Amino acid sequence: MQKVTKTVEIQILNRIKKAGRGVLFFTESFITFGTANAVRKALQRLVKVGEIERVSVGIYVRPRMDTVIGKVSTGIEDIAKAIARRDRARIVPTGVYALNRLGLSSQVPLRVVFLTDGSARKIKVGNTTITFKKTAPKNVAAVGEISQLAIQALRTIGEKNVAEHEIKKIQQLLIKEKRSKLEHDIRLAPAWIREIMKQVLKVTTDE
């Protein structure tokens, strides 16, 4: 049994090394290598000897290394996107995290919320909790990275609370969005957010 598990361990490590540092893997990524128990034990040993790290329950990585700072931690968004790819789901950052991503808040939240059309769940990563909140497909249908963040940030602030400098900041960021994506996403926004975003169309081009 130990020999079989050792073989599983070698197969897992070879696959992780081939993928390169920073690539996230799930326990089920290795189901073809052996039984669930053999895979679990192999992963535990690889963590113990320092070949890989356990990011969260069932999630592993061979960390990227920097010549100056050493080990580079896996970003929260990278983890969320990997889970979304596995689940074939769409996700959109929301709440304080969306504000932080746009530079509208310096607060780094310990509870990061993503809207999703996949399964609702919570993932603990160190001191941070990633929450996937089930929502209607329309709310995760935006295709522009900046515009989807803008919509969710403005939703979080609220129509009656948004300040003029926040509107200007968001509009400046939206200028960088591809026009075709912006036009698509405007149609998904609430009416008051739509008016803010439409102003940007006057100064954008689609190259």
Domain boundary among 66, 94, 120: 66
What angle (nearest 5°) sits at the alpha carbon of residue 40, between those of residues 39 and 44?
Answer: 115
State the pLDDT confidence band at 72, using cuts at 50, 70 and 90.
Answer: confident
139 and 119 within one domain? yes
60 and 80 within one domain? no
Q: What CATH number does the domain containing 39 carry?
A: 1.10.10.10
Q: What is the largest CA-CA distance in the chain?
A: 68
Q: What is the mean pLDDT of residues 191-200?
A: 95
What angle (nearest 5°) sits at the alpha carbon of residue 59, between those of residues 54 and 61?
Answer: 60
The answer to whether residue 90 sits within a structural domain is: yes
Q: Which long-range contacts (CB under 8 A, 24 or more apart) does 80-85 make?
A: 80/112, 80/114, 80/130, 80/132, 82/24, 82/26, 83/59, 83/123, 83/132, 84/114, 84/116, 84/118
58 and 28 within one domain? yes
Q: Over 80: is that where the pLDDT of 207 sits?
A: no
32 and 106 within one domain? no
State the pLDDT confidence band at 4, using cuts at 50, 70 and 90.
Answer: low
In tens, the pLDDT along 122-146 reads 999 999 999 999 999 999 999 999 9
Domain count, the chain: 2
Q: Over 60: is that where the pLDDT of 163 sits?
A: yes
The answer to whether residue 180 sits within a structural domain is: yes
Domain range for 115 is 76-201
- Closest by Cα among 160, 154, 156, 203 to 182: 203
The answer to whether residue 20 sits within a structural domain is: yes
Domain boundary among 66, 97, 118: 66
**What pLDDT was estimated at residue 86?**
94
The answer to whether residue 110 sits within a structural domain is: yes
88 and 183 within one domain? yes
The answer to whether residue 153 sits within a structural domain is: yes
Which pTM value belongs to this model?
Answer: 0.86
